[in-house]
Amino acid sequence: MSDAVLFDVDDEIAIITLNRPDSRNCLSEDVRDGLAQAWDRFEHTDGLRVAVLTGTGETFCAGGDLKEMVATGMQVPPRNMFALPYDTVQLTKPTIAAVNGAAFAGGWMIAQACDLCVADSRAKFAVTEVKVGRSSPWASPLIHMIPQRIMMEILLTGKPITAQRAYEIGLVNRIAESGDVLGTAMELAREILAGAPLSVRAARETVMLSTEMGRSAALQAARAASEHCYRSDDAQEGPAAFAQKRTPRYRGR
């Protein structure tokens, strides 16, 4: 791992931090490479169950590196240019964006790609591509998160919205007191950790299947995705612990 992206561990939580505050954590090549390595490390480390993505300084991520785009004459970005969870990077574990400041363009993109989003009360979000002659095809999954007319306005105008507005439209799960976004995200991560590992995985798969399929197909696929959970030792441990009035000891099997 380079110092462009930091990787820390707190219990079973990976904390991934964009660490280029002088360039507003833009998605320069070293940051892109660091993110790819960080997501890979998170996915393939057995003891890690949730990841929190945040940034240093006052900006979460200002988006793509426009200077690089000019220097290279970039037209259509390569499909694998950005390490996006559940898109160009295959992950099976939950992720949380802890948006500590502005999340513009590519910054919105990587926050959107995470399963959950916590925002500092002073954070702002914008899809600014129309302001610089670029496009935002990555924004298409927004239709499953926010209403169509609101999505249309955000993409057509490129104007920023506040953290409060992002919360109101359903883009953000929780708003943190200024300066405490990482603490709030860690609290949310620990709430996830309290659940049985296989149940959490099946729940996440159920949500994603439901966004990609019609009702009947999603029901059938979700039942199949839940089989491993139902047949696990943890599925017996949970009810037993409840009956015995004790804390369950989940083993993820």
pLDDT band at 223 (very low <50, low <70, confident <90, very high): confident
Report how far residue 131's alpha carbon sits from residue 198's, in angstroms, rounded to the nearest whole number: 44
> Would you state the structure tokens that stand for residue 190, as one six-digit string?
């620990």
Q: Is the pLDDT of residue 218 over 80?
A: no
Marked catalytic residue, from 29, 68, 129, 153: 129
pLDDT at position 215, please? Answer: 80
Nearest by Cα to 62 from 34, 22, 89, 98:
22
* Eight-state DSSP code of residue 12: T
Q: Is the pLDDT of residue 160 over 90?
A: yes
The mean pLDDT value for 180-204 works out to: 95
* Eight-state DSSP code of residue 249: -
The per-residue pLDDT for range 95-138, each reduced to its tens digit, is: 999 999 999 999 999 999 999 999 999 999 999 998 988 788 88
Nearest by Cα to 74 from 84, 65, 85:
65
Q: Is the pLDDT of residue 74 over 70?
A: no
Report how far residue 35's alpha carbon sits from residue 39's, in angstroms, rounded to the nearest whole number: 6
* Eight-state DSSP code of residue 85: B
The mean pLDDT value for 159-175 works out to: 98
227: annotated active-site residue: no
The per-residue pLDDT for range 239-248, each reduced to its tens digit, is: 788 889 888 8
Taking the CA atoms of 39, 41, 46 and 50 in sequence, report the sign of the dihedral they define.
negative
pLDDT at position 60, please? Answer: 97
| Type of residue found at 40 | D
The mean pLDDT value for 81-86 works out to: 82
Q: How many residues does the chain have?
A: 253
The per-residue pLDDT for range 28-53, each reduced to its tens digit, is: 999 999 999 999 999 999 999 999 99
> Which carries the bigger pLDDT value, residue 217 or residue 12?
12
pLDDT band at 1 (very low <50, low <70, confident <90, very high): low
* 62 CB-near residues (< 8 Å, 6+ apart): 23, 24, 25, 26, 102, 104, 105, 106, 107
How high is the mean pLDDT of the chain?
Answer: 91
Report how far residue 59's alpha carbon sits from residue 24's, in angstroms, rounded to the nearest whole number: 6
pLDDT band at 82 (very low <50, low <70, confident <90, very high): confident
pLDDT band at 66 (very low <50, low <70, confident <90, very high): low
The mean pLDDT value for 49-64 works out to: 94
Q: Is the pLDDT of residue 9 over 70?
A: yes
Q: Is the pLDDT of residue 86 over 90?
A: no
pLDDT at position 210, please? Answer: 87
